[in-house]
Amino acid sequence: MKTGFFLIIVMMTFSLLINAQNNESTKITVTKMVYIKGGNYLPLFKKNGSTEKEQIKPFYLDIHAVTNKQFLQFVKSNPEWSRSNVKKIFAEQSYLKDWQSDFNPGGKVNPTAPVTYVSWFAAKAYSKWVDKRLPTLAELEFVAMADENSPGPNHSKSYNEKLIRWYLKELPVKLPNVKSTYKNYRGVYDMFGLIREWTFDFNTANINGTAICGGGSAGATDLKNYPAFLRYGFNSCLSGNSALDNLGFRCAKDVK
């Protein structure tokens, strides 16, 4: 009787332990999201020469970018996305370049900093794995329009200058934590000052076919918005498998 009781306890503890272990490996740290009400927004480059504002439907957006720690969980559960296994067409040579090994970011990488050196394909796969999606260019630009205190699009001179300053800064050797810059009016962190972010339709930045890569400003709606030009210029040069050291992502989700 006593042995039986003892055995049951041992088995229960054992199964608990096993469960705990399983939970540990399948536990996904999902980023908190905020509800974005949506509204009107004038894109930097007009579609077909129209000056009509675009309508942004309500959606949810991650309050911060996906971290190294979070991405590691994804790679562990989906080893085809580890550095040695990933196909070159999905992620170029520099994919997860700063990680120590396939399943270990290592001491030089800050686990709660945004993951970088990830391609669009990898970002898309992650977002699907957490049952989300990538935000569109319009959605991200719409949220990016806001500064700390107002929804935008008009900002103080100092705000625009602050943005340009960030683009001119050198990258820090070790990226700081997510949420370490500022929270904007929409409740979203680090829209600028940390990393560039993937969007679902990044290659529509070349909207009119104007050679943005070649420097065209024709058809731009706000010629003074140099930070926007920098983003559009950057986006229009990317490929799906690009993996760069200041490019990461965050996820969005439809409102059901």
In angstroms, give the least distance from the CB of 11 to another protein: 54
Residue with tokens 């009509």: 52
The yes or no reply on residue 34 touching another protein (CB under 8 A) is no
Q: How many helices (H) and strands (E) does the chain have?
A: 6, 7
Q: Which stretch binds another protein (CB under 8 A): 75-83, 134-142, 156-164, 248-256?
A: 156-164
Establish how many alpha carbons lie within 13 A of residue 36's alpha carbon, considering only the half-sphere containing its beta carbon: 34
Q: Work out whether strand 54-56 and strand 39-41 pair parallel, antiparallel, or are unpaired.
A: antiparallel
Task: Give the full edge-to-edge strand order of the sheet including 252-254.
Answer: 33-36, 59-62, 252-254
Site for another protein in 106-145 (CB under 8 A): none
Candidates 238, 241, 248, 251: give the one binding another protein (CB under 8 A): 238
In the list 32, 88, 169, 256, the residue contacting another protein (rule: CB under 8 A) is 169
Candidates 137, 212, 251, 252: give the one binding another protein (CB under 8 A).
Answer: 212
Q: Which letter, b or e, does each residue of 54-92 get, where b requires 16 or more Cβ atoms within 10 Å of its Cβ? A: eebeebbbbbbbbbbebbbbbbeeeeebbbeebeeebbb
181 binds another protein (CB under 8 A): no
Q: Which is nearer to another protein, 107 or 215 (CB)?
A: 215
Q: Which is nearer to another protein, 132 or 155 (CB)?
A: 155
DSSP 91: S
CA-to-CA distance for 44 and 217, rounded, in angstroms? Answer: 10
**Binding letters toward another protein, positions 216-235, x by CB under 8 A:** xx------x-x--xx-xxx-
Q: What values do phi and psi take at 56, rounded to 5?
A: -100, 120
- Total residues interacting with another protein, rule: CB under 8 A: 32
Contacts to another protein by CB under 8 A: 94, 157, 160-161, 164-165, 167-171, 211-217, 224, 226, 229-230, 232-234, 236-238, 242, 244-246
